[in-house]
């Protein structure tokens, strides 16, 4: 089984990125062939500063590797190292009805928030379809907000296969772990860079404490019992706890006698301890090491991409 996903280097990774996508990809290494990449072409739709895009791209790769992508077992590369993906994007564009893209929530959300409605932003799902279909992916692990994009890739593949030959492109499915489908941010809305409500993974201890303190809570007197259902501090703690850990924390909420400050301190410790091994790896990875790993991964990905594209070219009549 081939499991593929990508992430944009459009800012520092946060808990939503980790539990929504990165953790799934790391765990998938036990189940099948993992293909993971940094979607730097996609990031061009929102990052318009070359130096910034370059440094964020290397940072994103460093973070992904530190969090557990194993480049010996998995293929890990930079989207822009594989020119075939842009070629397939053009080929697929011919099989993409405008209406399909007009229904994309992500495009509507981003333009509503003020991003210019460029052709690149509009056709973003077609490039994503090329990412997925070029490598015959079976499963695409993503957060909830990306489900529609995987469905669009599927629709485009069906249309292409109808035109040029059944089974030419493999139809992908998505996977979203229900328990963490949406990680809440500081204000309880979906954690997202765009909402400025994120808790980044690689903060130093002081900055982490400061962030966690900003989580919105209901004012309840210290000695009173507290409701854990719908409490954002509880929800975030739960991401790091097993069933026993969750039950114990629920008891502490229900018992009263502890304020939210204590629960926030507990959350800070959970985050800090959980990511300690990743922090150590992160500190150890130089830019040179990261670039060398990406290059090795790109060579493996390119072989598969080139072969697939040769077949597609022959079917669509491109010499």
State yes or no: is 255 an active-site residue. Answer: no
Contact indicator for 195, 185 with CB cutoff of 8 Å: yes
Rounded CA gap, 51 and 185, in Å?
28
Contact indicator for 294, 78 with CB cutoff of 8 Å: yes
In the complex, least distance from residue 144 CB atom to ligand TRP, rounded to whole angstroms: 11
182 interacts with ligand ADP by CB under 6 A: yes
Which CB sits closer to ligand TRP, 156 or 208?
Answer: 156
Contact indicator for 166, 153 with CB cutoff of 8 Å: no
Stretch that binds ligand ADP, among 17-25, 96-104, 150-158, 300-308 (CB under 6 A): 17-25
7 interacts with ligand TRP by CB under 6 A: yes
Q: What is the DSSP string of 113-167?
A: TT----HHHHTHHHHHHHHHHHTT-SEEE--GGGHHHHHHHHHHHHHHHHHH-TT
Contact indicator for 257, 223 with CB cutoff of 8 Å: yes
190 interacts with ligand ADP by CB under 6 A: yes
DSSP structural state of residue 181: S
Site for ligand ADP in 119-158 (CB under 6 A): 142-143, 145-146
The count of residues interacting with ligand ADP (CB under 6 A) is 18
Give which of ligand TRP, ligand ADP, none residue 132 binds (C-beta under 5 to 8 Å, depending on kind).
Answer: ligand TRP
The count of residues interacting with ligand TRP (CB under 6 A) is 13
Contact indicator for 150, 170 with CB cutoff of 8 Å: no
Contact indicator for 193, 60 with CB cutoff of 8 Å: no
In the complex, least distance from residue 240 CB atom to ligand TRP, rounded to whole angstroms: 22
Give which of ligand TRP, ligand ADP, none residue 131 binds (C-beta under 5 to 8 Å, depending on kind).
Answer: ligand TRP
Which CB sits closer to ligand TRP, 15 or 270?
Answer: 15
For 224, the token pair is: 């009173």
Binding flags for ligand TRP, 128-157, as an x/- string (CB under 6 A): x--xx-------x-x---x--x--------
Give which of ligand ADP, ligand TRP, none residue 42 binds (C-beta under 5 to 8 Å, depending on kind).
Answer: ligand TRP
14 interacts with ligand TRP by CB under 6 A: no
State yes or no: is 190 an active-site residue. Answer: yes
State yes or no: is 193 an active-site residue. Answer: yes
For 205, the token pair is: 């201890």
- 4 phi/psi in degrees, rounded to 5: -125, 140
Site for ligand TRP in 21-60 (CB under 6 A): 39, 42
In the complex, least distance from residue 146 CB atom to ligand TRP, rounded to whole angstroms: 5
How many CA within 13 A on the CB side of residue 22? 25
Helix boundaries (H) for 37-117: 40-43, 50-66, 84-93, 98-102, 105-112
3-state secondary structure 203-228: CCHHHHHHHHHCCCCCCCCCCCCCCC
Write out the residues near ligand ADP by the rule CB under 6 A: 7-8, 10, 16-17, 20-21, 142-143, 145-146, 182-183, 190-194
Active-site residues: which are they?
A: 110, 190, 193
């Amino acid at each position: 089984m081939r499991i593929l996903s990508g992430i944009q280097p459009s800012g520092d990774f946060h808990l939503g990125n980790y539990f929504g996508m990165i953790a799934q990809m790391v765990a998938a290494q036990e189940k099948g062939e993992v293909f993971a990449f940094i979607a730097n072409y996609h990031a061009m739709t929102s990052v318009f500063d070359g130096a910034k895009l370059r440094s964020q791209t290397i940072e994103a790769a460093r973070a992904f590797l530190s969090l557990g992508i194993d480049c010996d077992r998995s293929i890990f590369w930079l989207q822009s190292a594989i020119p075939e993906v842009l070629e397939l994007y053009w080929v697929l564009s011919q099989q993409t009805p405008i209406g399909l893209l007009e229904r994309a929530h992500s495009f509507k959300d981003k333009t509503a928030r003020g991003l210019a409605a460029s052709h690149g932003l509009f056709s973003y799902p077609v490039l994503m379809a090329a990412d997925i279909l070029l490598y015959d992916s079976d499963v695409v692990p993503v957060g909830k907000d990306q489900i529609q994009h995987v469905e669009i890739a599927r629709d485009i593949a069906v249309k292409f296969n109808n035109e040029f030959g059944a089974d030419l492109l493999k139809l992908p499915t998505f996977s979203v772990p229900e328990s963490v489908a949406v990680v809440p941010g500081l204000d309880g809305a979906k954690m997202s860079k765009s909402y400025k409500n994120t808790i980044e993974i690689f903060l130093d201890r002081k900055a982490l404490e400061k962030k966690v303190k900003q989580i919105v809570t209901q004012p309840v007197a210290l000695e009173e019992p507290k409701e854990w259902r719908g409490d954002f501090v509880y929800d975030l703690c739960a991401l790091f706890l097993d069933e026993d850990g969750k039950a114990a924390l629920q008891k502490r909420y229900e018992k009263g006698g502890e304020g939210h400050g204590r629960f926030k301190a507990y959350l800070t410790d959970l985050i800090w301890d959980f990511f300690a091994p990743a922090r150590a790896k992160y500190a150890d990875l130089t830019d040179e090491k990261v670039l060398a790993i990406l290059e090795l991964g790109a060579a493996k990905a390119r072989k598969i991409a080139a072969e697939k594209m040769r077949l597609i070219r022959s079917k669509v009549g491109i010499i």
